[in-house]
Structure 1
Amino acid sequence: MGSMGRAETPAERRRKGPRFGANFMTVLEVSRELVCLCVDGVVADANSAGIAMLGAGSADQVVGRAFRDLVGGDYAGVIDDLLHLKEIEDSAFPIKVRHLDGGTFEAELQIHPARELGPAHAVVTARDISHQGRLARTARDSEDRFQALVERSMHLVLLCHGGRIGYINATGVAVLGGTDPSQFAGIPVSEIFAGDYREIVAADLGALLDEGGIMPMRLARLDGSTFDAQIKATKLPSQGAAPEYMVEARDITGQIRAVAALRHMNDTLEQQVAARTRELDEERARAVEARAFVESLLEAVPNPLWWKDTRGRYLGYNGAFRELHGVGPTDWIGRTTAEMVNPGFAAIASQADTQALAEAGRVQFEAHLEVAADRALDVVVNKTVWHGRDNRPEGVIGVMLDITERKRMEAELRRLATTDVLTGIFNRRHFMEMARIEVDRARRHGRPLVALMLDIDHFKRINDTHGHPVGDVAIKALADVCTQIIRHEDVLGRMGGEEFAIVLTETDLDGALLVAERLRQAVAAIRIPAELGTVAFTTSIGVAERLEGDATIDTILSRADMALYSAKRSGRNKVAVG
């Protein structure tokens, strides 16, 4: 190519992904999401999936409408600014999309500037997310059950920070003779103990925490009266120097009186005393089991689960989360997602946290998570807000589902359903679907379109002389040549055996003949090494352009096929027009 360097091949252009060229909608037609082109905020074109999602019977019902009329929600007021490129939204955002019949569905919308197509041109994509959110609801239900268990506990429960009370449940307020939790918030925890116990706790809180088991102590009510109780203090993970711990207390005044009375009873009641003692032990065992169940509930969830505060700092996570990231129970406590995972995932996760806290609702998103240097996953994340005592948002709970294998299987199923196993190009069924779409588009917009039919000359001779494996190599070589010469917006398919078909979009007859001649020459230059010598072969090509009266691709392919046989009759290795 001289000083200008090597020209970019069509295959290299395809690897770069879709570009907003004149025919970009051809590629996006296969998308299951809504895709449309807007000019000055008005829909100029839409793919078939989008037409169906909007409840339209044809493109004519959508084309020409102002896109802002198709959306609702908070973004409806600024949609024109986004479509006229006065404002740029880099990432997808949730929005309500309206059906033509007046109904709505939740979607994730993204607007891409397309200035290369013209002023105020934008490409809009929307993905239906109405069905999502079930996992987030499950996590929220678990949090509600946990809160209910603590608040409705039969025993006093305190959450303390340092030497002061931060939280007290309703049972605790009643046991201590109060009327409202605010009477206890912030007071020294030693104040609820009576006599010498108060001094011991005030002087050496650490001793209480180190005791670990259940201890008999005396507590004081607000009116100064006292009662005997069983106390258990449990250390909690703490982020600062001051310890955080939970105190549980059970009023055992009645039990102590009963035991004292039993001591004065006749020896014949000893059996009843023993039975009552066993009953108490069983009660305590059931209480311990209930607490253990609540504490292990999150650990039992098979999917990675975590909870964070309103500043995005991790407060805790379950065993599945630790296993996924290979971390210990406290390694990420106090850290943020941005510090611990890949930037792309962190940015989406942070935006989801902000949205969930702002709307006090549930958010779901899909993202690519790098869990190790050589390991990445496709995941679905559901997030929901958890609330504190005053019903204000205290943070976000997240649940993750690994969909990597599902994504891989979906891609493989799409490939198997649409491609020819030998050549890797479209199979006959998918080619006909794509070709019909292109013919409909050409008719709708009055654009040129040409179909080519081609096959290998004397293909039976190759099979008979060199064997079917060499014949397969020849078929694959012909497919590769076609892929290299045509554009990525054109449609190529194997119709069966050694026969191929091509639809050239936005191409008139003269342009198609140039392409056909290049194909014929390129095929003639193919050389395949074989046991009996090098194999060379040629191709005959039939060309037919779309005429005004052509309603289907079948009519055009039929003329191209007749032209192909005309090329065969005139000596092969030729291009003929039908």
Structure 2
Amino acid sequence: MSSSTIYHSGCLTPYKIALATLLDQSVFEFNWQAIECLQEVPVSGMVLLHESDVQDSDTPLIGARKVLMVLAKWNFNGALKWVEQGANDSAGLEDLERIATWVVAEQSRSIWHNPQPSDQQNTLQTVIDAIPVPIFYKDAWHIYRGCNLAFSEFIGLSKEKIIDHSVYDVAPKELADIYYQADQALLAKGGKQEYETDVKNAQGERFEIEFHKAVFYKSNGNKGGQVGVMLDVTEKNRLMRELDKVSRTDPLTGVGNRREFDDAVSSALGEAQASYSSISLLTIDVDHFKSINDQFGHSCGDEALKFLVRCIYLASPSNASIYRIGGEEFYVLLPRTNLAEARSAAEKVCQHIPSQPLILKGEQVNMTVSIGAIQLASEQQLEDSFKRVDQALYEAKMTGRNRVCLAYYD
């Protein structure tokens, strides 16, 4: 007869010889293997686990192993607690004969007790296997007790590697943590649950999944577990992100538009407030842009604007972000930048643009810009800040163009 492995936690090592002596009286042969955590034990493996050795990371795995929880001193409430966590049974450390008896009984059951599914169960499995969307169900300890073929194929594991396993046995820990916490919340509250998160299959591919789950109940009214359906929304979300990006991007220059700026400046102000840092804004307008359109045509005017954006990027700090607000007017958002630093950044832009060759229809064009600069105060004062920086830009235009003017608060 082949031997089976008894896994045991560290506190039980001193009792191994005494237990082995008792088990030698049975017809079974056993190997012993010490463990530091339940993750080292294969699913459905037999484990003698002392309560003091249990780690937080072990709790989700108890229901997927044959666990005898060994208590320093057995008592009903302590035993009940561990059974409710998914342990098969419990025993007191002083009762080695009880522990040995449990091991023999579990080994006997594993050999002789192999129930065949009923016709009704076979029919139900055939029905859910025909459903083309992934379906699964778990027990009250969040252990997979069934799934359909679509679920198995989607995550890339056979049913044998899913059923009787915990989420930590079939998914990476960072994702399993999400599933387990959601399972706990659903079982605690009851009813239904919907949420969206990533799923990673056995091949390493990640998908965005919308989970729809509900608690099911036993005939006595107690919660039996949960049943769930997975909807793959990866492509839908990608299209939505693409549409959102298009709606936030200037199609000519590729920079953000006014909608994108409104969200960005609000977020940047919040970060600046949280980090006690400064944030500044430049408003840039092309000097005599109408003359470029009139002389060379609107297609060349478009080329000039794309040229302008490239120049702004090259001359601006690496953390700057650019937005086309309308026509030939652009905003440049400068995080972690005070007004003096914003002035220096604006002057670099102002000097860089005319130094770069712009050729339109074989003719070199000397493009210049006027710039207004302001240090933003708060989101509540944004409208006032926009008015003041626009006035600074107007001042730059009226005092000769190709220059920077600063905006101040009263």
**Which bin holds the TM-score, normalised by the shorter protein?**
0.5 to 0.7
- Bigger radius of gyration, 1 or 2? 1
Quote the offset at 1:305 in angstroms. Answer: 0.8
Matched residue type, 1:513:
R
TM-score of the pair, normalised by structure 1:
0.41
Distance 1:364 1:545, change over 3 A: closer
Deviations 1:482-514 (A, max 9, x none): 4562575x7642123332134557766544322
**1:315 aligned onto 2:186:** no
CA contact (8 A) 1:304 1:399 kept: yes
The aligned length equals 294
- The equivalences for 1:109-508 within 5 A come to 242-245=113-116, 294-359=124-189, 362-371=192-201, 373=203, 375-431=205-261, 451-457=281-287, 459=289, 471-483=301-313, 485-486=316-317, 488=319, 492-502=322-332
What residue number does 2:344 align with?
514
1:51 aligns to what? none
Judged with a 3 Å threshold, the aligned counterparts in structure 2 of structure 1 residues 437 and 538 are, in CA distance, closer, same or farther, namely same
**Paired residue for 1:539?**
369
Per-residue deviation, 1:517: 0.6
The answer to whether residue 395 in structure 2 is matched with residue 563 in structure 1 is yes
1:564–1:374 distance in 2 versus 1, CA, 3 Å: farther
Contact 1:528–1:534 (CA<8 Å) still a contact in 2? yes
Residues 372 and 473 from structure 1, CA distance in 2 versus in 1: closer, same or farther, beyond 3 angstroms?
farther
Cα distance, 1:564–1:336 mapped onto 2, change above 3 Å: same
Q: For residues 384 and 479 of structure 1, what CA distance do their matches in structure 2 show?
A: 52
Letter paired with 1:556: R
2:407 equivalent to 1:575: no
Q: Distance in 2 between matches of 1:448 and 1:424?
A: 27
Contact kept, 8 Å, 1:305 with 1:398, in 2: the verdict is yes
Tell me, yes or no, if the aligned pair for 1:344 and 1:368 is still in contact at 8 Å: no
For residues 246-269 of structure 1, what are the alpha-carbon distances to aligned partners after superposition, in whole Å with 9 as ceiling and x for unaligned? 568xxxxxxxxxxxxxxxxxxxxx
User: For residues 436 and 341 of structure 1, what CA distance do their matches in structure 2 show?
Assistant: 37
Distance in 1 separating the partners of 2:336 and 2:268: 10
1-side partners of 2:174 and 2:333: how far apart?
39
CA distance in 2, matches of 1:432, 1:388: 53
Query: Alpha-carbon deviation of 1:318?
Result: 1.3
Q: 1:398 to 1:513 in 2, by over 3 A?
A: same
Which whole-Å deviations, capped at 9, do the CAs of 1:520-568 have from their partners, x for residues lacking one?
123234346777377664323234677999963552244134124225x
Native 8 Å contact 2:197 2:209 kept in 1: yes
Separation (CA, whole Å) in 1 of partners of 2:165 and 2:205: 22
CA distance in 1, matches of 2:117, 2:270: 70
8 A Cα contact 2:125 2:148, kept in partner: no
Aligned amino acid, residue 428 of structure 1:
R
Q: Over residues 47-87 of structure 1, what are the superposed CA-to-partner deviations in whole Å (9 max), with x where a residue is unaligned?
A: xxxxxxxxxxxxxxxxxxxxxxxxxxxxxxxxxxxxxxxxx
Q: Tell me the SS of whatever aligns to 2:345.
A: helix
- For 1:551 and 1:350, the matched residues in 2 are separated by 46
Counterpart contact for 1:428–1:495, Cα < 8 Å: yes
Report SS of the residue matched to 1:399: strand
Runs of 5+ consecutive residues of structure 1 not aligned to the other structure: 1-237, 249-287
Asked whether the 8 Å contact 2:156–2:202 carries over to 1, the reply is no
Q: How much does 1:437 deviate? A: 9.0
Q: Is the 2:372–2:389 Cα contact (8 Å) retained in structure 1?
A: no
Alignment partner of 1:454: what SS? Answer: strand
Quick one: which amino acid aligns to residue 562 of structure 1? Y
Q: Deviations over 1:84-130 (max 9, x none)?
A: xxxxxxxxxxxxxxxxxxxxxxxxxxxxxxxxxxxxxxxxxxxxxxx
Unmatched tracts of structure 2, length 5 or more: 1-108
Q: 2:372 touches 2:390 (CA, 8 Å); kept in 1?
A: no
Equivalence for 2:81: none
Secondary structure of 2:116's match?
strand
The change in CA–CA distance for 1:298 and 1:422 in structure 2 (over 3 A counts) is same
In the TM superposition, residue 410 of structure 1 has moved relative to its aligned partner by 2.9
For 1:301 and 1:575, the matched residues in 2 are separated by 66
Task: Report the CA distance between 1:458 and its aligned residue.
Answer: 5.1
Q: Does the aligned pair in 1 maintain the 2:374–2:385 contact within 8 Å?
A: no
- What's the CA shift for 1:377? 0.8
Rate the CA distance shift 1:487–1:328 in 2: closer, same or farther, 3 A: closer
Q: Tell me whether 402-411 or 425-434 shows the greater mean CA deviation.
A: 425-434
What secondary structure, in the 3-state scheme, does the structure 1 residue paired with 2:356 have? coil
CA–CA distance in structure 2, aligned partners of residues 404 and 309 of structure 1: 28
Identity of aligned residues (%): 29
TM-score, reference length from structure 2: 0.55
Amino acid at match of 2:349: L
Partner AA of 1:541 in structure 2: I
Q: Which amino acid aligns with 1:424?
A: G
User: What is the CA-CA distance between 1:349 and the residue it aligns to?
Assistant: 1.5
